[in-house]
Structure 1
Amino acid sequence: MRLIEKVWFQGHPAKWLMVPLLLPLSLVFALVSFFRRLAYQLGLLEQINMSVPVVVVGNIGIGGNGKTPVTLYLVEKLLAQGINVGVVSRGYGSKAPHYPYQVNATSNAEQAGDEPLLIFQRCGVPVVIGADRITACQRLIEQGCELIIADDGLQHYRLARDFEFVVVDGKRLFGNGFLLPAGPLRETKRRIKQADCVIVNGESVWQKQALNLNFPVLTMGLKATKVIHVKSGESVELSNFLAKNVANDKSINAFAGIGDPKRFFNTLEALGFTLTLAKGFIDHQAFSAQDLQQFPNDIPLLMTEKDAVKCTDFAQDNYWYLPVDAAFSENTVTESIAAVINSIAALVSKHN
């Protein structure tokens, strides 16, 4: 984890030096963000409405809060209702030959970005990336998409939206509470009140404080049932993999290049794995074979699905990844996820 992230989320002693130095920049950031949003609200900047419903999945801070599992869940449930879904994303870190760029079967993570490629490979729905979300959405509409999910598009106000999800990390929450760069927030916590639904990734005391919001506040967990061999695509039930590879205290190695690598390592330990070597990398790390040479090849090396899409070209026989799915706790919510899905599906008929 970078030093600045330790300052944001862990209260590292460097905060006493770095935060005061960065606060003037945070003030500038706050003013620019405020007046930019105000310009859209007043019509000084044009907000574009698409001809199909647009659902935004985003957060008010940086880092991995669980947006991609939420996007995958929404796509799966909406497809089950017979709705043609498409996904737009900026494609952070991508180097596509052109933009907008539609992810396809020959795309790699360098071209498409790790998360868009993951979504395409997992769901098979049209995924288009590009900074110009309007043009990307239009590409999807031309292909018959009836509803568009904008992955990480909360602050892209040029794109009008019909429904907003804000995903909150139940553990890290909002860090030190400051805006960038003194803190991890893109917008203040007040922005949450303007969403249509909040999803808290993991149990959190904050959720009890948020229950006075006038919209659904849902609790999400991440469920794992299998591991997949990176090189061959072989799928093995988690219980069988554990029985084979963890018997007699045989341990594994693991790495993660996500917003909070520690969350992944904690998940592995909770599932019954013993970690010999666990290495965290920066979010969206572009991996090479050299980056992983530190891990011996005589025991399994586990990674996230997001990291696996960047390691297929040089995968070794001991490379495995752990796919996770969003799972919602229905007993602690103000409204069920099923009701939220149905309200989103109803948007399609309203647009027709």
Structure 2
Amino acid sequence: MFLLKKVKRYLFRVVQKEKKPFFFIPFFFLISAFFSLGVRLRHLAYDKGLLKVHKLPTCVVSIGNIAAGGTGKTPLIQKMIKHLDPKIRLAILTRGFLSKIETSGRVEKISDGKGCTLPVQYCGDEPYLLAKTTSVPIWVGKNRIESGYRAITEKMQCLILDDGMQYRRLARNLEIIVIDAKDPFGQKKFLPSGLLRDTPSRLDRADWIIANHIDSACQYEELKKEISLYTLAPVIGMNVVVCNPQEVTGKKVGVFCALGRPERFLQTVREIGCGIVDCVFLPDHTAFGLNELNLFAKRCKDKAGEMIVCTEKDWVKLSSFRCCIPVIALRVELEIVAGHAIWQEMLAKIEFFSNKGHR
């Protein structure tokens, strides 16, 4: 188990370009080629009707991406729930990646809209965070079709399919694709050579594109031109805003996170005026060991670090952890920087489909 963890972390650092793969290059190229072929064949099977697609008698809104991790799906779901009509009965269907629920093959309701009823180790970090920060029911499990039918028995009008783009077994009424504006095509290579998990041509399935990490109007216009080769879907430009910068601005900090694109979080920490003394990155969804975190805290303190900064998703996995310096979670949300009218149109269409299915 220890060796497997070390290998996984090494491969993560290779994908993140922190390490050169050397003799792994041909191996990575081969895996990427097979991965790409598998993705294309699977889509072909669904497009030709060889694999069955299940349609639920209610509105399904898929939120997904074509590149692995770090595009901002979770804060987008939080923002949508906050701005959609509160009268609509919303629910979230999520996989709970690497959670005990997922690996067991079960489907469980972890929230009725009043917080999580299960520990984070059991349901997964993102579902736990969504349960903690939203007021809608949440079902967790690999089988999102079963989750959907359970939600329908409770008269849910709109089902938000988290990370739904590759889950083609379930039909959706509306497709929202989230991309990283700084690297929209995942280094233009499939995993593990790059970060692509789907073909860029799949962008043509989108009803809307959410482009995260937009810094300027010029960048927004350039991005629209770049992705217009694949889709004519309207684009909403967004950026990450820290809600509690006063807790860390001007401090010397250590940074740790387990994200698909940790460099984005590191950039956010820099932008709010922190001095970074040290950092540790782990693969997405990985839990930090308490001994490991204690050693990191001591190392940061020795370098004059005043606190450790992490994401909310990492914070929920720490429980009541205490160490020699404070651990602060940065609370973030997405703000719209371009395409405000498109955002309002998107919300209106989701509300229309939600109400239409229950007339």
Q: Shorter-chain TM-score: what band? A: 0.7 to 0.9
Counterpart AA for 2:266? F
Please give the alpha-carbon distance, in whole angstroms, between the structure 2 residues aligned to 1:321 and 1:334.
29
Counterpart AA for 1:301? I
% identical equivalent positions:
29
Counterpart AA for 1:291? E
The residue that corresponds to 2:5 in the other structure is none
Contact 1:217 1:335 (8 Å CA) reproduced: no
Please give the alpha-carbon distance, in whole angstroms, between the structure 2 residues aligned to 1:9 and 1:289.
24
Q: What's the CA shift for 1:11?
A: 9.1
The residue that corresponds to 2:191 in the other structure is 180
Contact 2:68 2:196 (8 Å CA) reproduced: yes
Q: Secondary structure at the match of 1:320?
A: strand
The residue that corresponds to 2:240 in the other structure is 222
Q: Within 5 Å, which residues of 2 pair with 1:165-176?
A: 165-176=176-187
Q: What's the CA shift for 1:345?
A: 1.1
Please give the alpha-carbon distance, in whole angstroms, between the structure 1 residues aligned to 2:21 and 2:288.
29
Q: What's the CA shift for 1:81?
A: 4.2
Which string of whole-angstrom CA distances, capped at 9 and with x for unpartnered residues, describes residues 231-264 of structure 1?
Answer: xxxxxxx33x357xx3xxx422221111122211
Q: Within 5 Å, which residues of 2 pair with 1:87-98?
A: 87-96=92-101
Rate the CA distance shift 1:19–1:161 in 2: closer, same or farther, 3 A: farther
**Residue 142 in 1 paired to residue 148 in 2?**
no
Rate the CA distance shift 1:156–1:242 in 2: closer, same or farther, 3 A: closer
**Residue 44 in 1 paired to residue 50 in 2?**
yes
Q: Secondary structure at the match of 2:259?
A: coil
Q: What's the CA shift for 1:222?
A: 0.9
**Residue 209 in 1 paired to residue 226 in 2?**
yes
Which string of whole-angstrom CA distances, capped at 9 and with x for unpartnered residues, describes residues 242-297 of structure 1?
Answer: 57xx3xxx422221111122211211121112222222222111123212112047
Please give the alpha-carbon distance, in whole angstroms, between the structure 2 residues aligned to 1:176 and 1:211.
18
Which string of whole-angstrom CA distances, capped at 9 and with x for unpartnered residues, describes residues 64-90 of structure 1?
Answer: 211111111112222x44211111111
Q: Within 5 Å, which residues of 2 pair with 1:333-352?
A: 333=339, 336-352=342-358
Contact 2:105 2:142 (8 Å CA) reproduced: no
Q: Within 5 Å, which residues of 2 pair with 1:1-352?
A: 2=9, 4-5=11-12, 8=15, 10=17, 13-14=20-21, 17-78=23-84, 80-96=85-101, 99-104=106-111, 105-203=116-214, 204=219, 205-211=222-228, 213-226=231-244, 238-239=245-246, 241-242=247-248, 246=250, 250-293=251-294, 294-296=296-298, 299-316=306-323, 318-330=326-338, 333=339, 336-352=342-358
Q: What's the CA shift for 1:13?
A: 4.8
Contact 1:216 1:335 (8 Å CA) reproduced: no
Structure 2 unmatched ranges of 5 or more: 1-7
Contact 1:64 1:258 (8 Å CA) reproduced: yes
RMSD: 2.5
Contact 1:9 1:175 (8 Å CA) reproduced: no
Rate the CA distance shift 1:5–1:242 in 2: closer, same or farther, 3 A: closer
Please give the alpha-carbon distance, in whole angstroms, between the structure 2 residues aligned to 1:70 and 1:124.
15
The residue that corresponds to 2:3 in the other structure is none
Contact 1:11 1:176 (8 Å CA) reproduced: no
Please give the alpha-carbon distance, in whole angstroms, between the structure 2 residues aligned to 1:275 and 1:8.
23
Contact 2:15 2:192 (8 Å CA) reproduced: no
Structure 1 unmatched ranges of 5 or more: 227-237
Q: What's the CA shift for 1:224?
A: 1.4
Please give the alpha-carbon distance, in whole angstroms, between the structure 2 residues aligned to 1:278 and 1:26.
29
Please give the alpha-carbon distance, in whole angstroms, between the structure 2 residues aligned to 1:141 and 1:315.
42
Rate the CA distance shift 1:47–1:121 in 2: closer, same or farther, 3 A: same
Please give the alpha-carbon distance, in whole angstroms, between the structure 1 residues aligned to 2:13 and 2:71.
16
Q: What's the CA shift for 1:129?
A: 1.1
Counterpart AA for 1:314? F
Counterpart AA for 1:67? K
Which string of whole-angstrom CA distances, capped at 9 and with x for unpartnered residues, describes residues 131-178 of structure 1?
Answer: 111001112222222101111111111100111111111223323312
Please give the alpha-carbon distance, in whole angstroms, between the structure 2 residues aligned to 1:103 and 1:291.
29
Which string of whole-angstrom CA distances, capped at 9 and with x for unpartnered residues, describes residues 13-56 of structure 1?
Answer: 537x5444333433333333223222222222221111111111
Rate the CA distance shift 1:173–1:4 in 2: closer, same or farther, 3 A: farther
Q: Identify the range of structure 1 (303-312 vs 22-31) with the bigger mean alpha-carbon deviation.
A: 22-31
Counterpart AA for 2:319? T
The residue that corresponds to 1:232 in the other structure is none
The residue that corresponds to 1:229 in the other structure is none
Q: Identify the range of structure 1 (303-312 vs 290-299) with the bigger mean alpha-carbon deviation.
A: 290-299
Q: Secondary structure at the match of 1:275?
A: strand
